[in-house]
Amino acid sequence: MASKHIAAIDMGTNSFHLIIVQVKENGTFKVVDREREVIRLGSSQGKDLSFISTEEMEQAIKILRRFKKLAEYYKANIRAVATSAVREARNRDDFIRSVKELTGIKVEIIDGKHEAELIFAGANKSLELSNKTVLCIDIGGGSTEIILGKDGRSVFTASVKAGAVRLSKKFFPNYILTEETIRECEQLIKEEINADPDIIFNKKYDFAVGTSGTIQSVAAMIHYYREGERAKVLNGFSFTKEELFKITDEVLSKKTLEERLKIKGIEEKRADIIPAGLIILRQIFKLLKIENMTVSDFALREGIILETIAEES
């Protein structure tokens, strides 16, 4: 295969990510550029994540135009993938049509199963998991993907309707926490995970891997507490159940956004939704009996690249 460039756009519920890679002749790739923009799709109108507002649509178009310009600079073919918020929106067809008309980008909506497979492919690549049994967790804005993989292949994939933006909107609409809403949030997550027919409980695995924004933000806070400084690289960084529970208690004790913003190491743009993300992760640790978790820098967007290379080779 001749050397070329591919651009992958991950249109998530909490943010849009772009990576541009150079594909080498042997089929491997090198990331040459990346961008991230926070955008909360489906968070301002309607119940749950059921409607993309005009303002959100306009913001999405603006971001995608900029992403396209960067992709064009590298002469990269674009593959844009949308997940939870877009696939659930009542006006998703209007959204996709507008994106195509105003940016020229064709948006591909993938289901939760496909999303989980791509996330696992990305994590598998970054941490070389091919000869291990791995539990992979990805907490997004709208959903949480849980994958058990063995020897580089998935044993099960599950997509649970519990994400940091979705649950913040449902339980903490003003980003203010109460003991009652925290308990209600915990109970819903527990019910959603226990009721999922795709999850095989009590399956043995060698280690647990976490990917994407919420888990990376949690790892960054734990690293700050441990080392007193921000991490330069989080890929391969591991943290314990005790460290997670401690940071969760710390964050949940800060009932307002203003209080949470004072926590050292917290990501400012995620301080509003990190309580919900932490509650999800803590419940997953409890229900799936996780003792330690290792962070993968690669996730959905790298999985998109890997799938695209495989399809074109």
Same domain, 135 and 241: yes
Same domain, 212 and 276: yes
Is the per-residue pLDDT at 154 higher than 90? no
Same domain, 141 and 174: yes
Average pLDDT, the chain: 93
For the segment 35-53, what is each residue's pLDDT rounded down to a tens digit?
Answer: 999 998 887 765 566 899 9
* 34 occurs within a structural domain: yes
Contact 8, 79 (CB under 8 A): yes
Same domain, 166 and 198: yes
Is the per-residue pLDDT at 152 higher than 90? no
Same domain, 186 and 280: yes
Provide the 10 A C-beta neighbour count for residue 3. Answer: 10
Query: How many domains does the structure of the chain reveal?
Result: 2
Average pLDDT of the residues in 145-149: 96
Token pair 């009932």 is at which residue? 255
Average pLDDT of the residues in 130-140: 92
Average pLDDT of the residues in 17-35: 94
For the segment 185-206, what is each residue's pLDDT rounded down to a tens digit?
Answer: 999 999 999 999 999 998 999 9
Same domain, 32 and 99: yes
For the segment 230-258, what is each residue's pLDDT rounded down to a tens digit?
Answer: 898 999 999 999 999 999 999 999 999 99
* 114 occurs within a structural domain: no
* 235 occurs within a structural domain: yes
Side-chain half-sphere of 143: how many Cα atoms within 13 Å? 25
Structural domain containing residue 71: 4-109
Say what percent of the chain tops pLDDT 70: 97
* 117 occurs within a structural domain: no
> E strands within the chain?
4-11, 15-23, 29-38, 77-82, 107-109, 133-139, 144-150, 153-160, 207-211, 238-240, 292-296
Q: What is the CATH number of the domain that holds 166?
A: 3.30.420.150
Same domain, 78 and 169: no
Q: In the listed set 109, 140, 173, which residue is the last one of a domain according to the structure?
A: 109
Same domain, 31 and 170: no
Same domain, 133 and 162: yes
